[in-house]
Amino acid sequence: EVHLVQSGAEVKKPGESLKISCKGSGYSFTTYRIAWVRQMPGKGLEWMGIIYPGDSDTRYSPSFQGQVTISADKSISTAFLQWSSLKASDTAMYYCARHHGDWYAFDYWGQGTLVTVSS
Amino acid sequence: SSELTQPPSVSVSPGQTASITCSGDKLGDKYASWYQQKAGQSPVLVIYQDTKRPSGIPERFSGSNSGNTATLTISGTQALDEADYHCQAWDGSTGVFGGGTKLTVL
């Protein structure tokens, strides 16, 4: 059975760095892209970027390019989303999702990681 | 980059048909997907490639996509269908979501 398990909730101060994770299991991690999706409080979903763990090819939404870094370590079947300097406006729920290439859709989602940035 | 527009809210009576639209430039030339998100939960894929249902999704969920509009239709809507619904498509290699629609069953 496919599972995407994300790291736990984080509380950080503005200016701090952060790296959250998404561990895949139950399938071949290197053959499906993993996307990161932001959901700000009470708002819709926002596509941030996507990585192909097989070769680490990464694409970013223009809105998030330069603001975050997406990476993956295929040896531990884990994708990452990181910030070098958090802002209060980064407060949100962050989801990882597996991209089913043949379907052009996200067929499995992680449980979400809540990131709170507050002084 | 392209944008997808959804109505903020749709209301439907139990047993009736709910239609949720998603509009974007030449959306009919792309594949649209739909996700259901209940309060406090992760999104769940309900429609992919415009019209297809993943295993386990009830037949009352259907989709269409033509011109500039994709539509999610829920026939015989049930109280448990109350949720936010998000459309999604691809702009080249970049994904984009609509703003989401809150479906109220009353």
Nearest CA in chain A to B33: A105
Backbone phi and psi for residue A104, each to the nearest 5 degrees, phi listed first = 55, 40
| pLDDT tens-digit series, residues A87-117 | 999 999 999 999 998 889 999 999 999 999 9
Model pLDDT, residue B93: 87
Whether residues A45 and B44 touch (CB distance < 8 A) is answered with no
Model pLDDT, residue B1: 52
The one-letter code for the residue type at B27 is L
Q: Which of A35, A44, A107 sits opposite B86 (nearest CB)?
A: A44
pLDDT in tens, chain B (106 residues): 569 999 999 999 999 999 999 999 999 999 999 999 999 999 999 999 999 999 999 999 999 999 999 999 999 999 999 999 999 999 888 999 999 999 999 9
| pLDDT tens-digit series, residues A2-24 | 999 999 999 999 999 999 999 99
Q: How many residues can be counted in chain A? A: 119
Nearest CA in chain B to A111: B42
Residues forming a β-bridge with B65: B70
Whether residues B45 and A105 touch (CB distance < 8 A) is answered with yes
Residues forming a β-bridge with B45: B35
